[in-house]
Structure 1
Amino acid sequence: MDDERVQKKILETVASLARYEIDVWTQVGPGVQVMLVDAISALPPEDRVQDRDLVIAVCEAVLSPEMEGAVWNANSVTLRAGRIPINAEIIKIREKAISILFELFKAAIADGERREILSTLRRAGHTGSRTEATDDWLNLTLKNATEVVEFLLGAAGPLSYELMQTLEHVYWYKYRRARDVSRSKARVNCQEASTRLMTAIEKLRDKFNEDQTFAKFKVLVGFESIFPYQWKERDENRADNYETQKEYRAAEAAKYIEAIGEQNEAEWLALIERIASVESNDMATFPPFAQFLTQLARSKPQTAARLLGLASDKVAGFLAAILAGLHESGEDKIYQNEVERVLQRGKYLAALARHLRLSKSPNVELAKRTLQRSMEVQQDVAVAECLITAMEAKPEDVPSKEAFFEPAIEYLNRKHEYWWTRAAWLPDQASSFFASLLERQARLLMPAMIQVPKVDYYVEQILIQIAKCYPALVWDCFASRLGMNKEDSPDRYEAIPYEFHGLQNELSKDPKLAIEFGRRIFNEIPRLFRFRGGRLLSIAFPSCPPNFAEELAKLADEGTKEDVEFILAVMENYHGEETTQEVLKRIIKRFPKDESIRTSVIISLESTGIVRGEFGFADALRDKLEIARGWQTDPRPEVRAFADAHIHSLQLRIADEQQRAEERKALRELQYEQTDELKDE
């Protein structure tokens, strides 16, 4: 076991110890939690920082307002939850945990660490969700939440804009909840505590928004922003309305752009740099910022040009948005100058290619030049953008396939760059592109389809389009994936998916072609065919549709013994569907005495898939018994003889499985009875 897994196991164990368990509480109360928190408090500060994950896990557990437990018996489990009684020890535990988290927060050096600690601190204001909070508990959580806000107001120190944005979002919801409590006639005893929390949150809000740069920041970036009108809005549906927020942002952004001039341009360029430096993997973070840059470039192209002249790589990452605005501004000279500068420098070509991909005014010659320059300076991302543009755009909006698509895909294949498959969000019009491909052009896509570690949704969408015209290429693709050497394949390589999500509709149209593919793979790798090629055929023809069963039945009549072995390797992936019955009967008629074939037929007939319950397998065998009895009326004597023998075997197995299930159940009941007796003693 590696160090990371050991540490994870230790963390899970300590967190489990720190949780309030009903059975433990009845014996020692919060004794375990007191010992753990006291032990952490006794550690030197540097040790607490070093073991911060463990410390946070314990603090999170002891700040819970609820305890839980489970009662097990032989046939069921009952989950229990209860409210922790408030006493001096619980209050002290919570105070110590909050104090420990405050110290960890002040010692944190990165926002990621601070966010984790803040998430745990917010649990101090959580009243629980499985049991109703008493007034005492509500007052305690309101008090603890107020302490956290007051810490953020002072001792926490300066916070990044990203954290301020998140905190305002979090405490806006807590403010609304506290406001509801302050107005509730049923919570008269909690009104004072809720009012104190509201006052503290208002101070935190005002402190954040005194910084006018932060006020602009949250308008232009992020999806957690809270705006002034939302604090005043009493209608919660309107306050939460996304379209209203979008309109507010657009109006404020327009005001900002209107106010940008020579006197404050440097300040705005600095803010744009600051926003561009925000690190986020969430695609919802930057759309408002990109729209702002487009609008700025459209309204004030000279300002945008100066921005690009001074821009860092971070800002240049939004070049596509700026170019879109310049293109719409009517200042063609500025736009052309910026485009030429990108082409000459050979930098930021991916942004230029993306701009062309998204542009409503296509430029065929510029697209061709962008691809050529991208390949010259080996800008792989830019080449991939050009490739996806070729797939998405109308034929008249891009260079010919020979001049654009083919060079792009050949370049990426030579570089062994196949990640572009996940970036290709194919729109409906992409189907016309694939339909127009020659077979040799479609074949150029196959290296990526073979080398990607997994046939996920994105890859499957491409394969679906190819299969509409060239299904043989798709079967060849899977043949190559199945034949991939472990040494040559990427990490975590999955040759075939668990199931298809649309590709089966295309592949199942031609069962003869599928069987030809299957026989070829069977000849190459017969030993594991059932689990590889056979399973692939079963997901391409789910539930063994009639057209597939008919072709297999013909092969069972006319084929060699190897053909029959191939059929059985496929059949073993089904679960005795009705369409498989005739195929298996014909095999038995041809090879009534061959034990290996009879065994494979039995495996195919008895395959059950998932069963449920302690008698699930016995019940599944009873269903198989009814199917076998239907074979006794078949006109072929070989089939009837097989059915008689199989029925006898099934009856014995059912009796054996029923007895074993009953024994397991009786033993389990006995074990739980003994456990209960020991508890009573």
Structure 2
Amino acid sequence: MHFDEYQLTGRATYAAFVDAVRTILVSLVERHGFTPHAITGRAKDPVSLKKKLAKNGIDPASAIDEVLKDLAGCRIVFLTNSQVTAFHATGAINENFDILNVNEHHPVPGTETEDRLFDSTNYLVALKPGRAVLPEYEKFAGLRIEIQVQTLLNHAWAEMGHDTIYKEPELRHVDPRHMQAINARMTEVMREHLLPAGYAFDKIARDFNRIIKADAAAGETLATIASSTNNDELLGAFESADTLILPMITDNSGVFVELVPQIAAAVERVRGTKGKPINSIMGNFPGKTGEIVAKRAADLIGRGLYVDPKLSFDTITRLYRGAGTDAERKIWADLGAQFASYTVDAWEKVGTGVQAFIVERIGALSIDDRRALANLILAMLAKVLSYEISGIRRGAFPTVLINTAIIPAGEGLRQLRAGAFDILEQMLGTAADDIGRSDILAPLWIAATPPHGVSEGLRIQIMADATRLLAFLQDHSATWGLELRRKTEIKALRVHRNFRAVPASMTENTELVATQEKLVPALLTLRDTLNADPQFGLYKALIGTDSVAPKAWEEDVPDFRGAASWRKERFPEIIAEADPAKAAEWVARLRAFLTMPANAADRYPLTEFVEALVQVHPGIGTHMLYQMDADLQPVLVRLLRGLDAAGEGDVIAQHVARFIGEGRFLANLALWLGRRDQINIALLATVGDRARELGDSEAVLETVNAAGHLFRRGADQPLIDRVFLPSAEYFRGSKDPFWNDRLMDTVDAAIVEGLDEAQSRTLLELFMPVPRIDYSGDLVLAVIARRFPGLVLDYFGARIVRDARSDPMRYEVVPSDIHELGTVLAENPRQLVAATREWYRKDPRVHEYRGGRLFRNVFPSLPAEASGPLREIAGRGDRNDLSFVLDTLAAYDGAEPIYPICMDIVDRLDAGDDLLGRVSQVLGERGVLVGDYGSVDADRSERAQLEAWLDDPREKVKAFAKDERRRLAQSMAQEQRRATGEIEHMKEDWGEPAAKAKQE
């Protein structure tokens, strides 16, 4: 259509087309629930068109409808940015029209659009074929129209600028700088007024909708909390109350007070329930339990703990008392600790008022109540006796200010801590066992530990509290167990190191010096009292790597080597005093030591001692073997080693045979045999046979471990045939992948080197159920791959097949990270390409996370030896081969080394080929995006890299690059708009005004 034709008849056709499209737009926006400010349209005025043709050098006699895209246009005008975003998200334009092109108008820093602040999305569309064949639309077939979607503010700016900027007059006499000034003012109006107003309108609309939504949801939400027994419903109601309803009530304290008892009742209604399982495309997940409801309820109650402290205390103690599991009790204990913490907001209003109230309420409880609420009380009093005031407040967007301070000393604090001490001392005096006593002592030791930067007044308070604690310990600790006394001395030593000397800057404070002079003697008196018991001295020498050596009281800092030397010196002294005739007493003593509530690491010195003891007094060791049981089991390995060194082989043989026959201590025996100087493969095999017979998986694993240790000392095929493989094979029938996983962790790489191809294949089959290959598995696979790379590749291929039947959330086909295995597999890139290509042929689904990931992990930088085979396939392969290459490259997250291969593929494809879209996707894959504008930055980087394609001699490559760079420019504008909008919304919610300057 040339210009004269357009002027005579074309404009009328386009005007009718505009009316038809406008009718469609009115219908579709209503169908999607939108109420735009206006939907306008026009066919281009011939006068304006003629000027545009002349300005752009277009021949009026040419086919202008093929050159210009704005002969017809419609504009949908919404009131807010959010409405525009929501409309785009519906896909309504795509549903009703064929989209020929999309042009995003939005400023992107660092590009030529940086100062173009106008915001609009322009769709160039045509009627869909199905509509164009209808009689009322057939005359519009082939016509194009631009549909613009923008806000009212942008619409107003565009209308104003239509005559001042878009149709800038040709000035013949007036200085053109006047027009430049107008253009600058238009830009200033957009930046200084319209952009901020747009975000302000958004917030107004969002706040309005939130108010309406909160009001509508309040009744149903409160009713659900009051009566529902459905966990999912309650969680939804808690969320609605927390984030929607309560923030919308100006003074919500009254509502909160009424709501808390209902929340507590809801927790009690669903306590112990499991919830309905959740079925999803990602698998089946357990339903929401009553404990999850309790956790969310605690979060909600925690929002207003100080609204009514009495209600908070009563609610927390009520819910803790009724909890049926330790997990739920911990929820309420944590909430109690939150309640008792010193926060900046509460401190500024009432000082220690909240904590004083809590101590008063606990003090009023009966002894039975305190016992029932013990862990809750301890959690709260630990916070009461702490020293830090903390709080979080908003700073300038988007910073958060973390405020911390140390509590100042004063009479109120002294009385508060005295009350807490009264409660804890009463609880300590009535505790039933050392575990309970240890828990009660924990907050008391907190009270005796100074924070960094403590003031003189608070230092006095802490020393006075520590002196009071020491007096109690002096009177009561003699009846406590040895381990609790050992821990008590360790804590007391730390207090001594903190306060043994008065800081030089505080020596003039007579009260402080006097308090310190009371504390230090009390510490030394407690030390002497504890160590006056010979059994305690013996115990702390044999148990605990952190036990207090005598010289430690003279040290300012811990000397761990000195403590170890002290212990080594004590061993010969203790052994020299041991009487073999009193073997039974010694065994009873060691049993008592081993059954103290110490951890395994603390028992290690005792195992060393036992080895040394029985070398000198083998009779004691023999007696221990006769008495061997679960209590003595931790020392069995070192006991056997000591008797070995003492030449008691016959005694050992007798008892080992008995243990094997009884099926006891098999894992310990395997551990001993694996580290014994004398190698006895037959005996290790016997232990393994018995362990497999009894189904003792731990012992079977230990025989695998022992075989590896022995193999390192000298390769011996019987270790493989009689011990390693039978024990490994045992786990083939395991129904729990946990054991296969532990097998992979246990296998020693040295023994794997001795396996032949068939044995290696067997081992890999046993590793098939392993959910995730970690570093130890990587080492084992690398050993196999070094000699039999095909086996390892077959192993991964089998894992891909297994993955189709497994839970993808728990089964990782290939490791996310690779180490030695990658170095080995990289030696033959063509073999790896062939293997991954075969896996793709069998199952191309999510190849980039399977074969593609493995290829990328082996060749992270895609060197020439790895890219070469892929380029060969890209140059000669069929469409399936091209898809394989692209899906492999997708694992590289758009990294630069994939570009040459993608160029080769583009050159083989014709315009419109679907695989061109896949190339675009592969180039656009993103790894970790950093920052609010991370996606924009990634698009910018890709666009810059594609610039080199424009100089490529291949026309298809240049054409693809041109189109792709334009698409990326549009994507950058779209992402810039989205990110900027989100940031401005957050600023509004933060309380800061919308930005008036362009985004940096």
* Helix, strand or coil at the partner of 1:402: helix
* Helix, strand or coil at the partner of 2:403: strand
Distance 1:381 1:528, change over 3 A: same
Cα distance in structure 1, aligned partners of 2:493 and 2:721? 57
Q: Does 1:208 align with 2:530?
A: yes
- Which of 730, 736, 741 aligns to 1:411? It is 730
Is the CA contact 1:297–1:322 (under 8 Å) kept in the aligned structure 2? yes
- Per-residue deviation, 1:139: 0.8
Cα distance in structure 1, aligned partners of 2:772 and 2:433? 34
- Per-residue deviation, 1:226: 0.7
Distance 1:116 1:650, change over 3 A: farther
Q: Does 1:90 align with 2:90?
A: no
Q: Does 1:321 align with 2:638?
A: yes
- Per-residue deviation, 1:324: 0.9
- Which of 610, 620, 629 aligns to 1:293? It is 610
Is the CA contact 1:511–1:547 (under 8 Å) kept in the aligned structure 2? yes
Cα distance in structure 2, aligned partners of 1:141 and 1:449? 58
Distance 1:244 1:29, change over 3 A: closer
* Helix, strand or coil at the partner of 1:180: coil
Report 1:613-632 matches (<5 A). Answer: 613-632=931-950
Q: Deviations 1:75-124 (Å, cap 9, x if unpaired)?
A: 32232222323333333332333333344445555655544433332221
Cα distance in structure 1, aligned partners of 2:586 and 2:513? 44
Q: Deviations 1:515-555 (Å, cap 9, x if unpaired)?
A: 33433443444333334443344334334344332222222
Q: Does 1:544 align with 2:862?
A: yes
Unpaired stretches in structure 2, ≥5 consecutive residues = 1-287, 296-327, 995-1000
Is the CA contact 2:987–2:993 (under 8 Å) kept in the aligned structure 1? no
Report 1:3-82 matches (<5 A). Answer: 3-5=290-292, 6=295, 7=328, 10-72=332-394, 73-82=396-405
Match of 1:270 in 2: 588
Deviation larger for 447-456 or 162-171: 447-456
Q: Deviations 1:226-264 (Å, cap 9, x if unpaired)?
A: 122322x34x46xx3333322221221122222211454
* Helix, strand or coil at the partner of 1:78: strand
Distance 1:281 1:86, change over 3 A: closer
- Per-residue deviation, 1:333: 3.0
Distance 1:186 1:288, change over 3 A: same
Larger radius of gyration, structure 1 or 2?
Answer: 2
Q: Does 1:515 align with 2:833?
A: yes
Match of 1:571 in 2: 889
Distance 1:187 1:661, change over 3 A: farther
Report 1:312-351 matches (<5 A). Answer: 312-351=629-668
- Per-residue deviation, 1:361: 2.4
Q: Does 1:559 align with 2:882?
A: no
Cα distance in structure 1, aligned partners of 2:677 and 2:746? 17
- Per-residue deviation, 1:346: 3.6
- Per-residue deviation, 1:220: 1.3
Cα distance in structure 2, aligned partners of 1:662 and 1:227? 63
Cα distance in structure 1, aligned partners of 2:859 and 2:678? 44
Tell me which amino acid in the other structure corresponds to 1:159. W
Tell me which amino acid in the other structure corresponds to 1:408. S
Cα distance in structure 1, aligned partners of 2:910 and 2:336? 62
- Which of 528, 544, 549 aligns to 1:222? It is 544
Is the CA contact 1:182–1:188 (under 8 Å) kept in the aligned structure 2? no
Q: Does 1:357 align with 2:674?
A: yes
Distance 1:603 1:246, change over 3 A: same
Report 1:430-449 matches (<5 A). Answer: 430-449=748-767
Cα distance in structure 2, aligned partners of 1:331 and 1:425? 34
- Per-residue deviation, 1:439: 1.4
Match of 2:516 in 1: 194
- Which of 422, 425, 442 aligns to 1:99? It is 422
- Which of 117, 130, 152 aligns to 2:440? It is 117
Deviation larger for 472-481 or 117-126: 472-481
Is the CA contact 2:478–2:530 (under 8 Å) kept in the aligned structure 1? no
Tell me which amino acid in the other structure corresponds to 1:335. I
Q: Does 1:585 align with 2:906?
A: no
- Per-residue deviation, 1:23: 3.0
- Per-residue deviation, 1:400: 4.4
Is the CA contact 1:59–1:98 (under 8 Å) kept in the aligned structure 2? no
Cα distance in structure 1, aligned partners of 2:388 and 2:493? 25
- Which of 915, 919, 926 aligns to 1:601? It is 919
Q: Deviations 1:598-656 (Å, cap 9, x if unpaired)?
A: 33322322233223333333223222221111221222211111110111111122233
Tell me which amino acid in the other structure corresponds to 1:19. S
Tell me which amino acid in the other structure corresponds to 2:905. I
Q: Does 1:260 align with 2:578?
A: yes
- Per-residue deviation, 1:216: 1.1
Cα distance in structure 2, aligned partners of 1:395 and 1:325? 24
Match of 1:370 in 2: 687
Tell me which amino acid in the other structure corresponds to 2:757. E
Match of 2:566 in 1: 248
* Helix, strand or coil at the partner of 1:314: coil
Tell me which amino acid in the other structure corresponds to 2:391. G
- Per-residue deviation, 1:447: 4.0
Cα distance in structure 2, aligned partners of 1:633 and 1:113? 78
Is the CA contact 1:273–1:311 (under 8 Å) kept in the aligned structure 2? no
Tell me which amino acid in the other structure corresponds to 2:845. R
Is the CA contact 1:421–1:458 (under 8 Å) kept in the aligned structure 2? no
Is the CA contact 1:387–1:409 (under 8 Å) kept in the aligned structure 2? yes
Match of 2:45 in 1: none
Tell me which amino acid in the other structure corresponds to 2:532. E
Match of 2:498 in 1: 177
Distance 1:508 1:457, change over 3 A: same
- Which of 622, 626, 646 aligns to 1:309? It is 626
Cα distance in structure 1, aligned partners of 2:809 and 2:366? 43
Deviation larger for 498-507 or 105-114: 105-114
Match of 2:848 in 1: 530
- Per-residue deviation, 1:212: 1.4
Match of 1:134 in 2: 455
Q: Deviations 1:425-455 (Å, cap 9, x if unpaired)?
A: 779xx54432221011112222442223432
Is the CA contact 1:23–1:69 (under 8 Å) kept in the aligned structure 2? yes
Distance 1:173 1:340, change over 3 A: same
- Per-residue deviation, 1:581: 1.0
Is the CA contact 2:740–2:769 (under 8 Å) kept in the aligned structure 1? no
Match of 2:149 in 1: none
Is the CA contact 2:666–2:691 (under 8 Å) kept in the aligned structure 1? yes
Is the CA contact 2:744–2:767 (under 8 Å) kept in the aligned structure 1? no
In percent, how many aligned pairs have the same letter? 27
Distance 1:615 1:489, change over 3 A: closer
Q: Deviations 1:269-309 (Å, cap 9, x if unpaired)?
A: 11111233345554x32331121111122212222112211
Is the CA contact 1:508–1:540 (under 8 Å) kept in the aligned structure 2? yes
Cα distance in structure 1, aligned partners of 2:367 and 2:797? 59
Cα distance in structure 1, aligned partners of 2:290 and 2:481? 33
* Helix, strand or coil at the partner of 1:322: helix
